[in-house]
């Protein structure tokens, strides 16, 4: 079997999704899960882009031991120096340096001639290799580049020491046939290409990212870059879970290519990324959507009952979808609880286990059966929350509303970042709007709501509600999430979570590298 290496960029290109802003504990939690999932390389961020990103990349590189951690850099010396500072203590540090090679990018964005771009690429790869044992070089917008030029620059950067050559379809423009032909051309026309890994990086603007990635594999790519749930810049990147399952299910066709991903970690990885980024997975999404294994119509149900494979090509078990085991409840004790945490993949400090146990017990007072999904939600909150950061904290709220002529009115009590207690009231067309209007009057930053959603975790009247909010704080978009058995409380928590991220991000006196 030929091993196709998987380069995950959820924490870099994935985080470039508008409105997604992960804090340090959240990034670390995703990084740990990517390690369990078995990716070969993870791109933890773009260290030169901000102090927060630098700190996150450094912490991930220092923590993750079984995966090579990389960080992105422009063809700029100071970006490369910063990347080295962040990555140098990692187990297998590698640099990912890029420069655009298409006429449109070189002329209008970089304002450089093709020869200048070659010189810069060679200079920066050479420089990167003075520190990094491995250097990936990306030809940004490769799919719209001149092939002869591409071959020329690739040969030179390999001579300069690049160990991986990545050919991105940066704007999701190419088709599977064209993209495959580009890989074939490079294999045939770059004499030293056999010395390096050849990588594909696809975007999904025309819905072809996974198909393009597979075409690249068929034409010589040895590494595929993508993200969990396909999140990323604009329409996103190639969804790694789809790629991995496609290679597995159609191994009759794609053999000898296979990944080393642990397929039954797919569901947990997808859930974690979705929860922490606030990017909900569409119900009908391949492999991880809620409907991916649901059969609604009679003929299909009949077929599945008679023989599952009539309509089911992937089993839920293969990707780690479990039927909800409702074993935790009011009478469960600490031992069973700790065991359950391990089963659902959480390794918490003793202090956090106790915190989680208290939350769990609180929930069992009002909810008969606590599902794995409920626990996952509680644990994710606890594992990624940050203490000692200045923020708005909800003290309480009341809402008066009904369907008659009364206008819904909310009263909210908050503790402000400077620890003063405030209370305010406002009305709205509905209960949520009344609450959000009230919060608006209390928060000093300029806040505008751009998106709000509510969903239930599991089913039943007593299910937990999860809310996701996107809003702008002083013009910059932030997302927030909150969960509670009460839908209004979930909404308020999500609103404040987004505000606090914005507040922290923009606070001029924020501690360098602290998380929000
Ligand atoms: C295809 C991709 O996904 S590329 C990665 C995209 N990701 C991001 O941009 C997120 C992080 N980016 C950032 O935080 C900021 O853009 C920074 C810190 C990197 C740079 O910020 P600024 O210095 O304010 O520059 P700004 O973003 O406005 O412009 C980018 C500059 O980098 C240059 N540039 C772009 N790509 C490259 C490259 N690969 N190598 C060298 N220079 C580059 C541009 O030409 C422009 O230069 P100019 O200022 O001389 O015109
Ligand atoms: C930085 C590069 C690899 C990128 O994300 C792209 O070209 O899409
Ligand atoms: Mg990209």
Atom of ligand 2 nearest to the CA of 12: 5
The stretches of 209-345 forming alpha helices (DSSP H) are 209-218, 240-249, 251-254, 266-277, 298-306, 334-343
What does the alpha-carbon distance between residue 89 and residue 456 come to, in Å, rounded to a whole number?
A: 42
Give me the pLDDT at residue 484, please. Answer: 92
Give me the pLDDT at residue 229, please. Answer: 98
Is there an atom of ligand 2 within 6 Å of 138 CB?
yes
Give me the pLDDT at residue 326, please. Answer: 56
ipTM above 0.90, yes or no: yes
Give me the pLDDT at residue 61, please. Answer: 98
Token reading at 397? 């709220």
Give me the pLDDT at residue 512, please. Answer: 38
Is there an atom of ligand 1 within 6 Å of 504 CB?
no
Show the low-confidence residues of the chain (pLDDT under 70). 323-327, 386-390, 405, 505-516
CA of 74 to the centre of ligand 1 (A): 7
Give me the pLDDT at residue 295, please. Answer: 78
CA nearest neighbour of 344 among 381, 364, 385, 374: 374
CA of 135 to the centre of ligand 2 (A): 15
Architecture label for domain 2-277: Alpha-Beta Barrel (3.20)
- Ligand 1 test: best mutation among 12, 57, 96, 109, most atoms within 8 Å of CB? 109
Nearest residue (by CA) to ligand 1, atom 25, is: 49
Nearest residue (by CA) to ligand 2, atom 2, is: 140
Nearest residue (by CA) to ligand 1, atom 15, is: 49
Q: At 448, which helix (H) or strand (E)?
A: strand 447-457
- Measured from the alpha carbon of residue 124, the closest ligand is 1
Give me the pLDDT at residue 515, please. Answer: 37
- pLDDT tens-digit series, residues 320-342: 998 655 568 888 888 888 888 88
Residue 225 near residue 72 (C-beta atoms within 8 A)? no
The domain 393-506 having CATH identifier 3.30.160.270: the answer here is yes
CB-based neighbours (< 5 A) of ligand 3, an ion? 13
CA of 100 to the centre of ligand 3 (A): 12
Give me the pLDDT at residue 269, please. Answer: 97
Token reading at 380? 């994710």
Q: 302-308 — which CB contacts under 8 Å span 24+ positions?
A: none
Token reading at 230? 């396909």
Give me the pLDDT at residue 507, please. Answer: 54
What does the alpha-carbon distance between residue 396 and residue 468 come to, in Å, rounded to a whole number?
A: 20
Atom of ligand 1 nearest to the CA of 48: 18
- Residue spans of beta strands (DSSP E) within 79-157: 94-100, 134-140
CA 253, 258, 262: angle at the middle one, nearest 5?
A: 130
Instruction: Name the DSSP letter for residue 108.
Output: I
Atom of ligand 1 nearest to the CA of 98: 39
CA of 106 to the centre of ligand 1 (A): 13
What does each C-alpha distance from 137 to 65, 100, 164 come to in angstroms? Answer: 23, 11, 6
Q: Is residue 419 part of an annotated ligand binding site?
A: no
């Amino acid at each position: 079997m030929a091993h196709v290496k998987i380069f995950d960029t959820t924490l870099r290109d994935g985080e470039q999704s508008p409105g997604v802003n992960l804090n340090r504990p959240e990034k670390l939690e995703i990084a740990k899960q990517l390690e369990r999932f078995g990716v070969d390389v993870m791109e933890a961020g773009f260290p030169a882009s901000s102090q927060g990103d630098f700190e996150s990349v450094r912490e991930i590189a220092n923590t993750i031991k079984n995966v090579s951690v990389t960080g992105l850099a422009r063809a700029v010396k100071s970006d490369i120096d910063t990347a080295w500072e962040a990555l140098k203590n990692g187990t297998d540090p590698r640099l990912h340096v890029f420069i655009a090679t298409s006429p449109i990018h070189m002329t209008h964005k970089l304002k450089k001639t093709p020869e200048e771009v070659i010189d810069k690429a060679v200079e920066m790869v050479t420089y990167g290799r003075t520190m990094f044992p491995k250097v990936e070089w990306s030809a940004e917008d490769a799919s719209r580049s001149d092939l002869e030029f591409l071959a020329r620059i690739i040969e030179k950067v390999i001579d300069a020491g690049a160990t991986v050559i990545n050919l991105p379809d940066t704007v999701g423009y190419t088709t599977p046939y064209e993209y495959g032909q580009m890989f074939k051309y490079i294999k045939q026309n770059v004499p030293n290409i056999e010395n390096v890994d050849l990588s594909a990086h696809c975007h999904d603007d025309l819905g072809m990212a996974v198909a393009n990635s597979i075409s690249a594999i068929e034409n010589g790519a040895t590494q595929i870059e993508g993200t969990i749930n396909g999140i990323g810049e604009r329409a996103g990147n190639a969804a790694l879970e789809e790629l991995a399952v496609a290679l597995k299910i159609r191994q009759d066709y794609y053999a000898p290519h296979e990944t080393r991903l642990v397929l039954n970690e797919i569901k947990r990885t997808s859930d974690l990324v979705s929860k922490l980024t606030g990017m909900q997975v569409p119900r009908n999404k391949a492999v991880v959507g809620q409907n991916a294994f649901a059969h609604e119509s009679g003929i299909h149900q009949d077929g599945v009952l008679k023989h599952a494979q009539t309509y089911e090509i992937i089993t839920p078990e293969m990707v780690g979808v479990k039927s909800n085991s409702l074993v935790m409840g009011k009478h469960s004790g600490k031992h069973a609880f700790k065991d359950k945490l391990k089963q659902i993949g959480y390794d918490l400090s003793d202090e956090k286990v106790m915190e989680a146990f208290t939350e769990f017990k609180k929930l069992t007072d009002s909810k008969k059966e606590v599902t794995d999904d409920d626990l996952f939600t509680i644990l994710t909150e606890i594992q990624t929350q940050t203490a000692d950061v200045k923020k708005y904290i909800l003290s309480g709220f009341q809402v008066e509303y009904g369907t008659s002529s009364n206008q819904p009115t909310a009263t909210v009590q908050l503790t402000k970042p400077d620890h003063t207690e405030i209370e305010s009231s406002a009305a709205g067309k509905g209960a949520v709007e009344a609450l959000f209007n009230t919060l608006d009057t209390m928060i000093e930053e300029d806040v505008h709501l751009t998106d709000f959603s509510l969903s239930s975790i599991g089913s039943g009247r007593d299910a937990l509600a999860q809310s996701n909010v996107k809003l702008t704080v002083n013009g910059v978009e932030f997302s927030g999430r909150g969960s509670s058995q009460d839908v209004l409380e979930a909404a308020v928590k999500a609103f404040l979570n987004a505000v606090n991220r914005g507040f922290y991000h923009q606070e001029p006196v924020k501690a360098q590298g602290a998380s929000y």
